[in-house]
Amino acid sequence: MSRFSYLICILPGIGSPQDKHMPEVPMTCCQSGCPNCVWLDYVEKLTLYYQDGGMEAVKAINRDIQDPNLQDNITSTSAVSTAILPTSKKSSEKNVSLLRLTGSINLSKEKNQQCEVITDFINIGHPSNFSRFDDLLLQRWREASAAGALNYHVHEVLTKILPGKYGIVAQLNPARAMKRRKPLPFTKVDEPFDAKGFNFTKIKSNELLFNIHLSLSSGEKVEGSLIVNAAPICPSHSLLLPSVVSCQPQVIDRQGFLLAVSTVLLSNLRSFRVGFNSLCAYASVNHHHYHCYYLPQQLYVEAAACHHIHGRCYAFTDHYAPGFVFQADPECIMDCVCVVMKLLSWLVSAEVPHNIFITRGLPLTDASSASCETQLMSSSTRNKGTAEERDVHGHDQATSATTSTADGAGANLCIQYSAVRVCVWVRQPATGAKAVSVFAPALCELAGHVPIYDPGQWDQLNEKDITDEIHSICKDSFTPRTSLILYLYPLLRSLVRPLYSMASSQDSYYLSLLALAESFRTEHPPKIRHSLHCLKAVFLCDPPPKVAARTHLQIAILLSRHAHNPELTKNHLQQAWNLSQNIAGFDDVRFASAHQLSICLLEESITNAPAATVGSGAAASIPSSPSIDAAKSLLMRAVEMSSQNAHWHCRLLLHAARACLLLKEYSSAASLLQRGFDYTNMHDLGYLRLVFQLSKIMVVMAEGNGSVSLNDIQQMLSQALSSISAVNATSAQKEHLKVFALVLLTTNQLNLGQVKSAKPVLKQLQQSIQTVSQGPLLEKENSGSCVEVQWLSRSELGVLVYLVSVRHSMHAGYMDKAHKYTEKALSQISKIRESSNASHWLEVLLVEHTALCHLVMGSKMSSLSSITRLSQLLRAYPNLAQSHVAQVHTLLAVYAMSMKNLEAAEQQFNAALRTSQNRELWTFANLNLGVVYLRSGREQDFIALQERIHPDAVRASSHGIRAAAYYVQGMHAFFSGGHDDAKRHLREALKMANAEDLNRLTSCALVLLGHLFFCAGSPREAANMASPAMQLASKIPDLHLQLWASSLLKDIHNHFKEASLAAVQECNHRQYGEQLANDQRWATEQPQHLALLSWTTGPLPHLEPMPS
């Protein structure tokens, strides 16, 4: 005698037969627990008496026996189990498959309610008899419908079979489209549960049908609830909810899927279906649930031909919705559930929308070889179904509006089903709110049951329109994943069968998946998501630490380049770092993961930095945080561990220095670079020694606090440049070093204001970049060597040289030339943006120079558009915003001056002074602030600035700044009436500007001297100044200077009675003035104008792009 196998607790409701004598309650039990207890004999007689499988027998036991211990002892013995076994005649019939599920199911509404206990065997071979599950579900559903739990009635749903190959079952249900709860919009397959939105904890009490509790022989417990679907597609439409109170999102899991399969097996009817819609596959509620309902018409998927892929996985051979099919055999349901869940878990992790349909059907081995034509009945038989199944819906053939009479295809299948089919479809995502017009391609539609929501389309329906639409959403998703499953399925099978040995083939799994991942990555266009799927599948085969670490790193690199999921990227890098630390000879993965992980941590600290730190003060650096501390600790540990690996040691030192620069820790960065210089000098790595030397000089230049003079920097750069030829390196390496040094040298000369002196150096730089562009790639020439460390890639260097050329042209006053260089550079950036880490700051600097170039040329609308673009770029890259805020304030101040908004200009210059750490920028802002005070007539405020801007106070500054200081002093003297002092200062400014080809400053000084001479009664000298000033202004071109010079020339020509020349200048003056006024008016009308000029602290404003 064995224990109970399957218990169902159900409420009373079945009466006892009256044609037999009721067994008498035994009175002679000895209470010793003997195997021949009279109570066991009593139970057997009760079971035979009621002929109902034991349910009423258990009721009688509970009624007649008061001792609960005796009740438990009797019902736990095999007497009841033996009594309810099918008769030997039925058990010996052929084609009868008995499935025995161990455990118990509580079908009560209330957990504490006393329920009767029965046993049940699921007879799949003879599905025409209702099981007690079927009886209860249908009874409760009808009661809920009568109690008003539905939004509308579906007692009579018009049904027809569409003519055609697939025999699609169409049902007219317009009420569902109008009266169902509005579906929630979703954009991801694994969106988290949202307690604020609708979920099944908020249903009405009359919607609950009953609860289910399964205790499996393995010890697992599976629980769920059945509720009525308030917006049903047909009679009996209910929802199966696994563990409602746990509030799990609509993401399938093993417990829920096991419950779904078990629920199908609880029914004896082939018409009972269970299905699942994932998010982005027409799930309307993000709370774990399954659909279940009875449909008497048989569906094509029940016996559709399938071809074998691997293991338990098949695919439809010829179905309009291509998909996977699995078979849940009675003897190995748990194996099937495990295998299917591996695929479903992969789909969820890969963000692939999917639909699932579970139904009884033909065994897949039969379906793969049988001809569909031999398995079909007439369509009328198919539509009618069995009498019992018609009773499920409470309507017969008469309620079907029309019925397909097509012969053969689409008719009823006459096979006795002995299997359960699990159909899985991958499909294109349906994101956002689901708008349904005629039908919605969800789980039942893919299976061949199509509810129609538009009565106007009912008579025009045809199979082709439906199948074409559904095929289009499945075919593209299914094809690549079918290829992938060929690789994945041996892995999945190995997990299901622990005894399967994979030791000899582990490398082949890894290499196959790696090759497939690489093939997806290198496609045009690349399929990065598919590549990630393959790499993630490596973890299914329990790879060794080396393989796991490298795979984690590969996934992280793909995520960092092609996805915006920093947390997931960081997790994979952390695992790669943890796994690789203790693996000997694994430097490439160990240090690459440390390098990338530190980048993630630093970016995380920037993202989480308070907004107030951007532009809030002179420091403007990222505050200390756990992420920053972790990045520093990680980098220093990696640096110490890499001392025996010159390549990684140098790379990590350079990266650590870059991190310090990001945090504005200039002294720490210089110290790390000096450490690298000493290391490379000790190991005789001449190329890398110069890389560290030039990098340290660059840090000193970036700090810009005057601790090292610009002339000293010039000397250091000249020495470094002269030593390149003696370095033991290839020609490509030397050219890269030469470009590095020449860029720094040209930049420093421009910082000194030595535009003329920088011209031959710039020419040398342009020639050198041509050599680099035409020569071999440094990274390919030295791949795998420590000397592959380089400053920038060849393409990035090309853009940088353009930027240096732009800056030189602007200093020299050639705006047209600068604009052309900028356009070329931005065009190059668009080509390297995805592959370059330097493209962001290069683009920021180029857009900044573009805005300034437009301002000089008098195009304020174009300048505002560029400043708006600059703001958008800096908002997208917070680390750049941290270090660039002072420059933006200065640019906005110059823009405000050109718009004659002196109040806004003053506010922006003051904001720049608060946030600037660069001495030259600070002095430049003060000089322009002085001009604002002079133009506003604020003499005392200008006097207060004198200690900052007097030529004697800026002797350590650049040549250009000193020349500008003399010009401002000359302007002050002119406005104060000190003409002699004005002439002296302006001539000094003119002399210095001419010495270094500072053409715009030259033109300004000439115009102001011309005004001075004209006011002093020397019109001839004024003309000598104004004419070359106009020529320079036109050459630049500078519309403001042209306006100023044309006004002066008009007055001079009038003085000399040169009417025609005066008229020309008057016409020019009017044209320039109108052009500037119109442009200024258009710029002022833009919302970006006010938003930018109002910003003085905090994060940059969010701006819409300017119209072209």
- Catalogue the active-site residues: 289
Spatial contact of 99 and 124, defined as CB atoms under 8 Å apart? yes
Query: Which residue is associated with the tokens 């207890």?
Result: 37
CB-based contacts of 752: which residues, under 8 Å, 6+ apart?
710, 711, 714, 958, 959, 960
d(CA 487, CA 482): 9
d(CA 372, CA 412): 11
How many Cβ atoms are within 10 Å of 611's Cβ, its own excluded? 12
For residue 174, is the peptide bond before it cis, meaning its omega torsion is within 30 degrees of 0? no
For 591, the 3-state DSSP assignment is: helix
d(CA 661, CA 472): 52
Cα distances from 149 to residues 137, 229, 849, 1105, in angstroms, run 15, 8, 68, 52
Phi, psi (5° rounding) for residue 216?
-90, 160
Query: Structure tokens of 644?
Result: 């025996």
Output Rg (C-alpha) for the chain, integer angstroms. Answer: 41
- Position 202, amino acid: K
d(CA 823, CA 840): 16
Query: Which residue is associated with the tokens 């890639």?
Result: 793
Query: Structure tokens of 701?
Result: 């230049």
For 292, the 3-state DSSP assignment is: strand
Query: Structure tokens of 542?
Result: 């329990």
Pairing state between β 122-123 and 158-161: unpaired
Measured at the CA of 1053, the angle between CA 1049 and CA 1058, to 5 degrees, comes to 150
Measured at the CA of 701, the angle between CA 699 and CA 704, to 5 degrees, comes to 110
Query: Structure tokens of 591?
Result: 């240090």
d(CA 43, CA 734): 98
Cα distances from 1094 to residues 274, 848, 862, 889, 901, in angstroms, run 60, 19, 19, 11, 12
How many Cβ atoms are within 10 Å of 941's Cβ, its own excluded? 15
Spatial contact of 119 and 6, defined as CB atoms under 8 Å apart? yes
d(CA 865, CA 847): 10
d(CA 608, CA 292): 46
Q: How many helices (H) and strands (E) would you count in the chain?
A: 42, 18
Cα distances from 221 to residues 194, 201, 259, 262, 479, in angstroms, run 26, 21, 10, 12, 37
Spatial contact of 40 and 79, defined as CB atoms under 8 Å apart? yes
Could you tell me if residue 604 is left (phi over 0), alpha (psi between -120 and 50 degrees) or otherwise beta?
A: alpha
Question: Would you mind telling me the total number of residues written for the chain in this entry?
Answer: 1108
Spatial contact of 846 and 880, defined as CB atoms under 8 Å apart? no
Tell whether the torsion through CA atoms of 945, 947, 948 and 954 is positive or negative: positive
Measured at the CA of 311, the angle between CA 332 and CA 217, to 5 degrees, comes to 20
d(CA 325, CA 365): 11
d(CA 1075, CA 1079): 6
The alpha carbon torsion through 180, 185, 190, 195 (nearest 10 deg) reads -70
d(CA 4, CA 77): 7
Tell me the HSE value of 1063 on the side-chain side, using a 13 A CA sphere.
Answer: 3
